[in-house]
Chains A and B, each alone.
Chain A
Amino acid sequence: MNRRIFLKTSGLTLLGTALTPRVFARMAQASGTRGKKVLVAIFQRGAVDGLNMIVPYGESAYYSARPTIAIPKKDVLDLDGFFGAHPSLQSLLPFWKDRSLAIVQAAGSPDATRSHFDAQDFMESGTPGVKSTEDGFLARAMDPPNKEPLRALAISPSMPRILAGSNAVVATDIARYANAPSTKVFGSMYPEAFEASRILRTLGANSGTAYPRNPLGDALSQIARVIKSDVGLEIAFADAGGWDTHAAQGGIDGQLANNLRGFSEAMTAFANDLGSRMSDVVLITMSEFGRTVRQNGNRGTDHGHATVMLALGGNVKGGKVHGRWPGLASHQLFEGRDLAVTTDFRDVFAEVLTKHLGVPSMASVFPKYEARRVGLM
Chain B
Amino acid sequence: MKRILLAGALLLVAATPRMAERQRAEHVLDRLAFGARPGDVEEVMRIGVDRWIDQQLHPERISDRAVESRVAKYQREVKLPTREEAKRDKKMARQAGRAAIGDLSAQRILRAAESERQLSEVMVDFWMNHFNVFAGKSIDRFLITSYERDTIRGHMWGRFEDLLMATAKSPAMLFYLDNARSRSGAINENYARELMELHTLGVDGGYAQKDVTELARVLTGWSISWGGPLARRAAAGPAGRGTADQRSAPQFIFRSAAHDQGAKSVLGVKLSGGGIDEGERMIRVLATHPSTARHLATKLCQRLVADDPPPALVDRVAKRFLDTRGDLRATVRAVVESPEFFDPKYYRAKVKSPFEYAISAVRAAGATIDNPLPLARQLKTIGQPLYFAQPPTGYSDKAEAWSNNGALVARLDFATALAANKMPGVRVRTDDAVLLAKKLGGPEFQKQ
Contact = CB atoms under 8 A, between A and B. Distances in A.
Contacts of B401: 158-159
A164 interface: yes
28 contacts: A46-B390, A114-B209, A115-B193, A117-B197, A118-B203, A158-B401, A158-B404, A164-B400, A170-B406, A171-B406, A171-B409, A172-B410, A176-B410, A180-B409, A181-B413, A181-B416, A182-B409, A182-B415, A186-B437, A190-B409, A241-B390, A246-B188, A296-B187, A297-B181, A297-B187, A298-B181, A300-B178, A302-B190
Interface in B117-135: none
Given A159-B400, A159-B401, A193 B409 contact: yes
Contact of B203 (A45, A117, A171, A300): A117
A294 B416 CA distance: 54
A172 B188 contact: no
A180 B382 CA distance: 13
A157 B401 CA distance: 9
Contact of A181 (B189, B417, B438, B442): B417
Residues of A in contact with B, size category:
35 or more
Contacts of A164: 400
Q: Is the interface of B mostly helix, strand, loop or mixed?
A: helix
B256 to A, nearest CB: 16
Interface string B371-415: 000000000000110000011110010001111111111101101
Contacts of A193: 405, 408-409, 412
Contacts of A244: 190, 391
Interface string A212-256: 000000000000000000000000000001101011000000000
A300 B409 contact: no
Interface in B424-448: 434, 437-438, 441-443
Contacts of A197: 409
A180 B405 CA distance: 12
A369 to B, nearest CB: 23
Given A118-B203, A157-B383, A196-B405, A185 B400 contact: no
Contacts of A116: 391-393
Interface string A106-121: 0000000111111000
Main secondary structure of the interface of A (DSSP, over half): loop
B183 interface: yes
A37 B186 CA distance: 49
B441 to A, nearest CB: 6
Residue with the greatest number of chain A CB neighbours at <10 A, chosen from B186, B209, B405: B405
Interface in A173-220: 176-177, 180-182, 185-186, 189-190, 192-194, 196-197
Given A159-B403, A297-B183, A185 B209 contact: no
Given A170-B404, A182-B412, A186-B412, A298 B178 contact: yes
Given A116-B392, A168-B404, A185-B412, 11 more contacts: A115-B197, A117-B393, A169-B405, A170-B406, A171-B406, A182-B413, A186-B416, A193-B408, A196-B405, A197-B409, A241-B390
B311 interface: no
Given A157-B383, A302-B188, A46 B391 contact: yes
Contacts of B268: none
B185 interface: yes
Interface in B191-245: 193, 197-198, 203, 209, 212
Interface of A: 45-46, 113-118, 157-159, 164, 168-172, 176-177, 180-182, 185-186, 189-190, 192-194, 196-197, 241-242, 244, 246-247, 296-298, 300, 302-303, 335
B417 to A, nearest CB: 7
Contacts of B413: 176, 180-182
A247 B188 contact: yes
B189 A302 contact: yes
B151 interface: no
A189 B442 contact: yes
A180 B410 CA distance: 8
A303 B188 CA distance: 10
B186 A158 contact: no
A335 to B, nearest CB: 7
B193 A185 contact: no
Given A46-B391, A297-B181, A190 B412 contact: yes
B308 to A, nearest CB: 11
B438 A185 contact: yes
A20 B442 CA distance: 49
